[in-house]
Amino acid sequence: MRIFLIEDDDVLADILVQSLRSQRYIVDWAEDGELGWEYSQSATYDLIVTDIDLPKLDGISLCQRLRSQGCAVPILLITAKNASRDRIRGLDAGADDYLIKPLDLGELQARVRALIRRKDNPITPILELKGLCLDPSGCQVTYQGKPLTLTPKEYSLLELFLRHPEQVFSRANIIDHLWNFDDPPQEESVKSHIKGLRQKLKAVGVVDWIENVYGFGYRFTPKVLVPGEVIEDQNYGNLEKQFNQGIDKLWDKYRGLMVQRMEVLQEAADPLRQGNLSAELQLSASQAAHKLAGVLGMFDREDGTNIAREIEIILQTNKKFKRSQKEEVLTLIKSLVELLNLTENIDRDSQDLQDLQDDTIALPTLGETFGDKIFDLSQTLSPKSFTPTNSSTPHSGLLVNLLVVDDDPIFLSALHPMLEPWGIKMTGLDNPLQFWDILEKVKPDLLILDVEMPQMSGIEICQAVRNNEEWQGLPILFLTAHRDFDTIQKIFAAGADDYIVKPVVGSELLTRIVNRWERNRWLQSFSCKDPLTGLNNQPHSSREIEKLIQEAEKNNSYFCFVLLVVEDLRQINIEYGHAMGNQVLQEWGRIFQGVFSNGEVLGYWGNGEFVMAIPGLHKSEVLSRLDELLIPLRIQIFTAPDSRRFQVSYRVAVAEYPVDGLTLHSLYRVII
């Protein structure tokens, strides 16, 4: 478990850090509130312990800021003995508990354990799974009564797994949970600790409970071993087996096209040897080498990729060839032919090359063969909750809608078995001239572009997307076989978010896709939300209501527009301070979200104005519906910093579309 301590007294901080680390907690420490805010945004913590009297940003203001941003991590305040007013303010600001100086370390440890147990997912004091027990209070581990002696990191690793069984953790996730900022390890260190923990568990009879999850990381899956039984991860084994079978079938299917590309290189060999290689044939050979370099590694032929890339570089960078360069290219071509064993003749006329753009090898999709629990990215890739964002996605378990533009049909086909079993719906396009038509049909969450394509380059497409108002925010990843600075510079200058070097490695591609998509969702959410209330801000909620007006006009339906104004917000700010006014808005935003959650549009427009658009109800029906909101607002009592208590006055008004107005502005003017 990871704890964040914010304390400006070096002596006290050192004592607290040592006390918490003695209980096997991972502890980060910051000495002022601003630094505390930055740390809290950069890592995932199970508990925040903060002094109230901090430089730059006090503990109460920090608590308010964290809660206003939706942070749900338990917060424990440290206060002076006679600061009862601060304790009240702290609890009202969102703190969960407090301790009074001078601190009792035993009480500190007990309160830390209690707060961690009271998290959103309640945790029992003793963690137990099928005979494996971990007691956090005594830092003891046993299996069927037999004690295990673990290193501190092995203990923390096991505790993480026991608290989150069946969840997959990447090495980076594990580092985030188990190491502090002052002691960052290499990812290989995680592998070493996993190996050590496995060996110690195996010594007491706990066999194969820590699984390698293909392409992602590690999962803790307890099993009961029957004497003589050999445990196999059937889900993982089936997926890996079928993935490999699919790749083998793709290799067989596109063997003919591979031969054609090799024949282009061989066709260029004799003219190159004789010194009369035409510019046209040189270009064709360079393009063939480029395409081979882009896909061979995906078929587990990394050596072929490296040879093809060397051929491409020599052919691209030379107009006149020295004898040594000719010999090098000819040797590389011969080596590539021998390596790939593609020497037999294939009757091109008998091949229907149109099939290359048709069906791909069928592999299991999410939820059909292996079940949502195992391969749902919302369960395996991040501790955060993922939900589908594209309502047009045909499969409820698919999370990311991906459009890939690459002129090589082999590459597009090879991507399918990499992505679709993990819940990523992929549409491949090998003709960039059709890009805009396909973009509108697919409406992707993320776009992947190849840099070099004959009809239109990926850089040109990227520039066009960034200049399009509707699509300019779409995340874009590039695929490139080149690592040179000029190519990478052009990619980012065009507006790319990231790039991946061919040949594509499945685990890297999956990680890049999910991380970029998740970050884009977070940025979109941040830009649409009011930070205090958590409701949609004025621009975003207005757009949603405009859409509601368009639908109502099209379907001849109706809805009600509600305006609720905090009348004395300005007076609260003047009399009690803006922090108190912010607390009112934050609490009211929470109540709004708790009452309305069935398709209503909610927003905060600033200056104390809360708005709602409620479809399908007339004005008389909405007034009775509002009682669910107004009753909890009426009974709200707030405590000011000087301990005075007060209630908040408001007014509410309702307008109905189309009776009271045909535009959002006209509805607003009617009731303002």
Whether residue 569 is found in the same domain as residue 468: no
Here the contacts of 283-286 (C-beta below 8 Å, separation 24 or greater) are 285/311, 285/315, 286/312, 286/315, 286/316
Question: What's the confidence (pLDDT) of residue 344?
Answer: 44
Beta bridge partners of 613: 561, 601
* pLDDT tens per residue, range 75-85: 998 887 666 67
Residue 372 included in any domain: yes
The residues, any chain, with a CB within 8 Å of residue 188's CB and separated by 6 or more, are none
Residue 202 pLDDT > 70, yes or no? yes
**Domain co-membership, 460 together with 377:** yes
399 lies in the same domain as 266: no
User: Measuring CA to CA, which residue among 267, 268, 213, 278 is closest to residue 239?
Assistant: 213
How much is the pLDDT for 342? 57
Higher confidence at residue 364 or residue 552?
A: 552
The pLDDT, as a whole number, for residue 422 is 66
Read off the DSSP letter of residue 432.
G
> Higher model confidence: residue 498 or residue 359?
498
- Note whether 111 and 131 are same-domain residues: no
Over 90: is that where the pLDDT of 667 sits?
yes
Within a domain: 177? yes
> At residue 271, does pLDDT exceed 90?
no
How many distinct structural domains can be found in the chain? 5
Specify whether 557 is located in the same domain as 508.
no
Residues 89 and 139 in one domain: no
Task: With cut-offs at 50, 70 and 90, classify the pLDDT of residue 186.
Answer: low
* CA–CA dist 303, 332 (Å, integer): 11
Please say which residue of 305, 335, 365 terminates a domain.
Answer: 335
Q: Where are the alpha helices (DSSP H) in 385-505?
A: 409-419, 435-442, 458-466, 485-493
pLDDT band at 390 (very low <50, low <70, confident <90, very high): very low
pLDDT value at residue 65? 86
Q: The domain spanning residue 557 has which CATH number?
A: 3.30.70.270
| Amino acid 125: pLDDT | 62
Q: What percent of the chain has pLDDT over 70?
A: 79
The predicted structure's pLDDT at residue 542: 93
- 529 within some domain: no
- Contacts (Cβ under 8 Å, ≥6 apart) of 578: none
At 597, the pLDDT band (50, 70, 90 cuts) reads low
Mean pLDDT across 562-576: 92
CATH of the domain at 145: 1.10.10.10
554 and 652 share one domain: yes
Most confident of 72-86, 217-231, 526-540: 526-540
Does residue 523 lie in a domain region? no
Closest CA to 168 of 201, 202, 131, 210: 210
Q: What is the CATH number of the domain that holds 471?
A: 3.40.50.2300
In a domain, 651, yes or no: yes
- Whether 75 and 23 map to the same domain: the answer is yes
Question: Residues 108, 99: contact at Cβ < 8 Å?
Answer: yes
Flag whether 88 is in a domain: yes
**pLDDT at position 397, please?**
41
pLDDT in tens, 27-44: 888 888 888 887 787 677
Single out the residue of 353, 352, 342, 361 nearest to residue 255, CA to CA: 342
**47-56, 210-219, 253-262, 356-365 — which one is most confidently predicted on average?**
47-56
pLDDT surpassing 70 at residue 619: yes
Residues 575 and 611 in one domain: yes
pLDDT at 460: 93
Question: Is the pLDDT higher at 291 or at 555?
Answer: 555
- Measured distance CA(82)–CA(509) in Å, rounded: 56
Q: Which of 117, 142, 161 corresponds to the end of one domain?
A: 117
What residue numbers bound the domain in which 616 lies?
538-671
Helix (H) / strand (E) element for 76: namely strand 75-79
Q: Are both 550 and 497 inside the same structural domain?
A: no
Lowest mean pLDDT among 120-129, 201-210, 521-530: 120-129
pLDDT computed for residue 590 by the predictor: 85
What pLDDT does residue 552 have? 92
555 & 601 share domain: yes
More confident residue, 351 or 49: 49
Domain end among 302, 335, 368: 335
Residues 459-482 have a mean pLDDT of 87
pTM higher than 0.75 for the full model?
no
Copy the structure tokens of residue 389.
């964002």
pLDDT at residue 250, as a whole number: 67
Domain contains 343: no
Question: Both 441 and 362 in a single domain?
Answer: yes
Helices 323-340 and 255-274 cross at an angle (nearest 10°) of 160
Residue 237 is assigned to a structural domain of this protein = no
